[in-house]
Structure 1
């Protein structure tokens, strides 16, 4: 349950102001069809984070527990620093011919490749060695951040203090990195 809750919280906070949340705003204003957009986000996230989580779980079989602990700690600290850098939305909406669902599915999947939430999923899956709980948590976290963006469109975008949210997310990643470095999770073997 801890893996699920930590994964949900970290991704929900880290996703605020992220390029995929900005993409959700953009798609909501372009298509004005919230259900297909939300379903596209869900499908893209399950596939993307499922693959990332599987990679993280696989990494635990390749690396010694102490080495993995230090790699994970460094990864979380790096994600803390990365979180402080504001995202800019690239032209991910170029697949509009696929309709609201197809555009969202393709654009979200591609936008998540190499994104901090995907890398967090890899690290969390390696840390907790609980693929289902981590992927379910990171997917829920993504939905917690992105569904309101879809439902509210760009009306709410200017009211969210993105700098404060980035700082809180960075502090969460930093705390997770420090806790991991000092042995948090040692009951799981690293």
Structure 2
């Protein structure tokens, strides 16, 4: 249960103000079909979380405990730094003429693939024999961060101060990454 909660909290922080939220809100505005967007989001997220957790469980058998902890530290450092240092624009997929569910599923799957949350889920999965719990925690974290974006759409930025939340989340992830990395090196 600790793995699920830790992964949930980490991924939730990593997704605040992230491109997944923005694309989901844009698609909800475009299609005006929350059910289809949420279904596409859920399917894309479930698949990505399963891939990440399964990958982490494979990494677990290849690396020593120290290297796994270093991998986790690096995953958190890059997640935090990414939130603090840069922000790439989101392609609104306006050229895609597919139905709402398919656009949401494919667009969000592609956007989430290789994202910081996938590395956090993989790192958490590698640190425990309960890799499925890392997938569940990651799924709930992404959904908890993104569902309000679909429901609130353009009002999300007006209601929720995304920039300060992004800075605080980034700083927390960066700090946790440094703690893990220094512990892996025996510094602390």
TM-score clears 0.5: yes
- Indicate the SS of the match to 1:156: helix
Contact 2:37 2:100 in 1 (8 A): yes
Give how far 1:9 is off: 1.2
Distance 1:95 1:48 in 2: 24
Give how far 1:50 is off: 0.7
Give how far 1:121 is off: 1.4
Contact 1:18 1:86 in 2 (8 A): no
Q: What is the aligned partner in structure 1 of residue 42 from structure 2?
A: 42
Q: What is the aligned partner in structure 1 of residue 130 from structure 2?
A: 130
Q: Show the 5 A alignment for 1:99-110.
A: 99-110=99-110
**Deviations for 1:78-122, whole angstroms, at most 9, x for unmatched residues?**
222112134333325256432111100000000012211112111
Give how far 1:67 is off: 2.1
- Indicate the SS of the match to 1:97: coil
Q: What is the aligned partner in structure 2 of residue 61 from structure 1?
A: 61
Contact 1:44 1:108 in 2 (8 A): yes
Distance 1:55 1:111 in 2: 18
Counterparts in 2 of 1:88 and 1:78: CA distance versus 1, 3 Å: closer
Contact 1:72 1:123 in 2 (8 A): yes
Give how far 1:181 is off: 3.6
Matched length: 184
Give how far 1:129 is off: 3.6
RMSD of Structure 2 on Structure 1 (CA): 1.9
Counterparts in 2 of 1:133 and 1:23: CA distance versus 1, 3 Å: same
Q: What is the aligned partner in structure 2 of residue 33 from structure 1?
A: 33
**Deviations for 1:25-52, whole angstroms, at most 9, x for unmatched residues?**
1001000111111111010011011111
Contact 1:92 1:107 in 2 (8 A): no
Once the two structures are overlaid, the 10-residue window that deviates more, 162-171 or 103-112, is 162-171
Distance 1:143 1:167 in 2: 20
Tell me the TM-score normalised to structure 2 length: 0.88
Q: What is the aligned partner in structure 2 of residue 163 from structure 1?
A: 163
Superposed structure 1 runs of 4+ greater than 6 Å apart: none
Distance 1:75 1:142 in 2: 17
Tell me the TM-score normalised to structure 1 length: 0.88
Distance 2:138 2:172 in 1: 15
